[in-house]
Amino acid sequence: MSENNPMRDAFDAIADPTRRRLIRLLAEAEAGELPLHELTPHFTMGRTAVSKHLTILKEAELVLDRKVGRETRYRLNADPLREVQDWVAFYRKFWSENLIRLGRLLEEEEE
């Protein structure tokens, strides 16, 4: 990757529903990896478009690839999703605490 194009982060990569679907397909892959020709039929776009989405996932380090003969096989690297999980967990706690406070306030008003 060039210095002019910094690495994408996981948030940017998962912003697109196609990429989220690719992540799910790779996570569910029985062999742990899939080639492009097995991923493409799951979408209404061609191989080139799916390949571009995989490149974005690779830039975010969410997908790893390896060559097997003439074929490239892709597998999920879920480690970068920990940052997303931590971010969501913070706001889950934030909203949970605020909803508990709201519930207490409503109970106090009823009394």
**Cβ(57)–Cβ(13) below 8 Å:** yes
pLDDT, tens digit (0-9, with 9 covering 90-100), for 59-85: 999 999 999 999 999 999 999 999 888
> Which is higher by pLDDT, 2 or 55?
55
Report whether pLDDT(6) > 60: no
CA–CA separation, 32 and 34 (whole Å): 7
CATH number of 1-79: 1.10.10.10
**Cβ(45)–Cβ(63) below 8 Å:** no
State whether residue 5 is helix, strand or coil.
Answer: coil
Could you tell me how many residues make up the chain? Answer: 111
Fill in the amino acid letter for 72.
T
pTM: 0.76
Percent of the chain with pLDDT over 70: 94
> Rounded to 5 degrees, what angle do the CA atoms 81, 79, 97 make?
45
Report whether pLDDT(7) > 70: no
